[in-house]
Amino acid sequence: MQTINFKELTISEKIMKAVDDMGFEEATPIQTQSIPYLLKGTDIIGQAQTGTGKTAAFGIPLLEKISPNKKDLQAMVICPTRELAIQVSDEIKKLSKYMNRINVLPVYGGQPISRQIHALRKGVQVVVGTPGRLMDHMRRGTIDVSHINMVVLDEADEMLNMGFREDIETILKDTPSERQTAMFSATLPKPILQIAKKYLKDYKILRVAHKELTVPKIMQSYIEVKQRNKFELLTRLIDINNPNLSLVFCNTKRRVDEIVQELQGRGYFADGLHGDLKQSQRDRVMNSFRNGVIEILVATDVAARGIDVDDVEIVFNYDVPQDEEYYVHRIGRTGRAGREGQAITFAFGKEVYKLKAIERYAKTKIKREKMPSINDVEEARFNGLVQQVGQIVENENIRKETHMIEKLLEEDYSTLDIAAALLKMVMGESKQESKKTDTAIKENGSEPGMARLFINIGKKQGVRPGDVVGAIAGETGMPGDLIGSIDIFDKYTFVEVPIKHADKVLRIMGRNTIKGQPIQIEPAAAK
Ligand code: ADP
Ligand code: MG
C-alpha cells in the first residue's frame, strides 16, 4: 500500500485548503490511485471497501474540472440512496468551500420535485442524485445534460443490487458521449464490468492491493458507540484499565486536537501527534511519552509511523481506520517484546461493516464487547483500592494509623462505618483531581473571566506586546482582541486570556515559539 500527501497530487490551492480544514492528513490508498487518473481525464473503475474515502477520490478531481464561471450543469454523481446522495453532496460542498460560485445540489425521491426544480433553475454545476429522480428531471427537461463532462457512479454494485441497471444505462446513453466516466464500487461483479465495457473508454481498473500482514497475537475487541459518546467511552476504558501507556488513533488531525484538549481538560496526561507539528515538537512529545510524562498519546496514522515504544498496553481506535492495513499497523504498537497488549476499536453504523472487512483481510477475530457502565468504572477503581489496601497492610508500618482508628472506635463508631467513610473520601478524590487544572487556571489573580498565564521570556529576549498577541492569535486561532493585559518583565511575561481559551492556549503555545524562541507557558502562580 502506498499513500501520498495531498500536496504531491496536483490539486489547486483552494481545494487543498478545504482538505486541510477537513483535517485530512494524507490521501487514502484509493484516493492516491484515483485522483491522478481522473485529473488526466481517464475513465476508471475504483474498487475499495466502504469507508476508504471514495467520495473525495472522485469529488476532488470532479471539482477541479468545473468552470465556476459557467452556470451549466457540468458533473453528475449517481448514488443508490437518498442518504448517500445527501452525504456525497455535503462532502463535495465541503471540498468546494473556498471555490466561489460552485453550486452542488442533491436530488432524490421523497422531496417535492418543485423545490428541486426551483434550486436547479438558479444554476447548479454539480448534481448528486438517485437514478429515478435524476431520470425524472432529465425527462422534464429540468436537468440539462448537454454540458455534462463527468459522470460518477458511486456504489455501483449497490445500485445494481437495487435494480437500477436499466436506469443507469439510460442515463449513460443520454449524457454526452465525450464525457469522462468513473465507477466506484466495493465489489466488481460481472454486470459492473459489462457496463464498463459498454459505456467507459479505455478505462483503468484501480484496486487497493494489500500486502500480506501478520497480525500480532493480542486481544482485539470493538465496542459499538455513537460518535458523540466516544469520548466518554474512552475515559471509562482508561479509568477501568488504568494503562501506563496507551495510544489513541484518529483519522484526522482535527480529531486529534479535540481529544487531546478534552483529555487534558479532564486532568489526564495526554498529548497529540500529527503531521502539522514540526519535527522538534514531535520529538518533544515522543520523548515525554517514552518517559511516561505523557500517558496517553493521541495520533494520526501518519504521525504514528515513527512511533517506537515497547510498552504500550492498549491501542484505542477512536475511529475505524481508513484502510485495512492501517489497522494492522496500529494494533502492532502494542503487545511488543512478548508483552500482553490489547486493541479496542470504537465503531458505529457502517464502521462495523468496515471492521468485518478488516477481520477478513487480517484473518483475525475482533470480539464485540459492551460499553462499560459507570458502575464498572467504580468497581474497577474499588478493586484497585482493595489491592492497594492489601499491599499496605502487608508491607507497610501502619501502627500509628491503627492507634488513630482505635481512638475513633472509642467515639462509638463501628470499624465498618469508619472504613466506609474513609473509602468514600478516597473514592471521591479522583473526581476533584480532575478539577485541579481548572482551579489552577482560575484563581491566579486575573481579571474576572480571564486566566493569567506565565511565559518564560521577556524584554531581554526582545519580546513586545505585539509579538505575544501575534503568536497567540496566530497559533491558536483565537481573535487577538480577546487577549487581555500583557505585562512584560525582563525575563518573563504575563498575559491574560479568557478562561475558556486558556487550556487551548497552554496546549498549543507550549509547543510553539515567540520571536523564534521555544517557550514555556503555564498558569501564573496566584498573586
Ligand atoms: P467511502 O465512500 O469509501 O465509504 P467516504 O468517502 O464516505 O468513504 O469517507 C469515509 C470518511 O472518511 C468520511 O468521514 C470522510 O470525510 C473521511 N475521509 C476521506 N478521506 C480522508 C482522508 N484522506 N483522511 C482522513 N479522513 C478521510
Ligand atoms: Mg461512498
Q: What is the pLDDT of residues 377-419, one digit of tens each?
A: 888 888 888 888 888 988 888 898 888 888 888 888 888 888 8
Q: For the segment 338-375, what is each residue's pLDDT rounded down to a tens digit? A: 667 899 999 998 889 889 988 988 888 999 999 998 88
Question: What is the average per-residue pLDDT within 443-469?
Answer: 84
Which pLDDT belongs to residue 314?
95
* Alpha carbon distance 299, 272 (integer Å): 6
Looking at residue 434, what is its pLDDT? 40
> What is the per-residue pLDDT for 526?
65
pLDDT of 253 reads 92
The residue among 333, 330, 261 whose CA lies nearest residue 301 is 330
Does residue 28 line the site of ligand 1, with CB under 6 A? yes
59 lines ligand 1 (CB under 6 A): no
The H or E element that residue 450 is part of is strand 450-455
Give start-end residues of each CATH 3.40.50.300 domain in the chain: 6-208, 218-372
**What is the topology classification, in CATH, of domain 6-208?**
Rossmann fold (3.40.50)
Task: Give the fold, CATH level 3, of 440-527.
Answer: Alpha-Beta Plaits (3.30.70)
Mean of pLDDT values over 511-519: 83
CA distance 256 to 259: 5
**Does the pLDDT of residue 287 top 50, yes or no?**
yes
Q: Ligand 2 centroid vs 306 CA: distance in angstroms? A: 30
pLDDT in tens, 150-161: 999 999 998 998
Q: Does the structure show a pLDDT above 60 at 477?
A: yes
What confidence category does residue 438 fall into, taking pLDDT thresholds of 50, 70 and 90? very low
Q: Residue 280: pLDDT band by 50, 70, 90 thresholds?
A: confident
Q: How far apart are CA 332 and CA 350, in angstroms?
A: 24
Q: Quote the pLDDT of residue 500.
A: 80
**Cell (9 digits) for 491:** 525575563
Which of 1, 19, 52, 207 best tests ligand 1's pocket when mutated (most atoms within 8 Å of CB)?
A: 52
Q: Supply the pLDDT for residue 281.
A: 86
Q: What is the pLDDT of residue 323?
A: 85
Q: Ligand 2 centre from 185 Cα, in Å?
A: 8
227 lines ligand 1 (CB under 6 A): no
Looking at the CA of 30, name the nearest ligand: 1
Alpha-carbon distances of 94 from 19, 20, 38, 76, 83, rounded to whole Å = 8, 11, 20, 17, 17
Q: Which whole-number Å values give the CA distances from 126 to 23, 123, 145, 176, in the listed order?
A: 24, 9, 11, 15
The closest residue, in CA terms, to atom 25 on ligand 1 is 24
| Residue from 128, 230, 251, 256 to probe ligand 1 pocket by mutation (most atoms less than 8 Å from CB) | 251
Task: Pick the range with the lowest mean pLDDT from 106-115, 298-307, 442-451.
Answer: 442-451
Is the predicted pLDDT of residue 467 greater than 50, yes or no?
A: yes
Please tell me the distance between residue 48's alpha carbon and the centre of ligand 2 in angstroms: 9
Of the bound ligands, which one is closest to the alpha carbon of residue 350? 1
Task: Write out the residue limits of the CATH 3.30.70.330 domain(s) in the chain.
Answer: 440-527
pLDDT average, residue stretch 187-212: 90
Mean pLDDT of the chain: 88
Of all residues in the chain, the percent with pLDDT exceeding 90 is 50
pLDDT in tens, 228-259: 899 999 999 999 998 989 999 999 999 999 99
Ligand 1 atom with least separation from CA of 24: 24
Per DSSP, 186 falls in state S
Length of the chain: 527
Q: Does domain 218-372 have CATH number 3.30.390.10?
A: no
Helix (H) or strand (E) holding 106: strand 104-107
Cβ of 53 closer than 6 Å to ligand 1, yes or no, is: yes
Q: Ligand 1: does its nearest atom lie under 6 Å from the Cβ of 476?
A: no
- Please report the pLDDT score of residue 75 as a whole number: 98
Position 444 scores a pLDDT of: 65
56 pocket-lining for ligand 1 (C-beta < 6 Å): yes
Mutation to probe ligand 1, out of 19, 20, 24, 319 (largest number of atoms < 8 A from CB): 24
CA dist., res. 393 & res. 494, Å (int) = 48
Could you tell me the distance, in angstroms and rounded to a whole number, from the CA of residue 57 to the centre of ligand 1?
Answer: 9
**Residue 435 — very low, low, confident or very high, per pLDDT cuts 50/70/90?**
very low
In the predicted structure, residue 48 carries a pLDDT above the cut 80: yes
Pocket flag, ligand 1, residue 483 (CB < 6 Å): no
Contact yes or no for 249/273 (Cβ under 8 A):
no
Decide whether any atom of ligand 1 lies within 6 Å of the 27 Cβ. Answer: yes
Q: Kindly report the pTM of this predicted structure.
A: 0.65
pLDDT of 442 over the 50 cut: yes
Percent of the chain with pLDDT over 70: 94
User: How many other CB atoms are there within 10 angstroms of residue 164's CB atom?
Assistant: 21
Tell me how far apart the alpha carbons of residues 485 and 303 are, in angstroms, rounded to a whole number: 37
pLDDT in tens, 102-126: 999 999 998 899 999 999 999 999 9
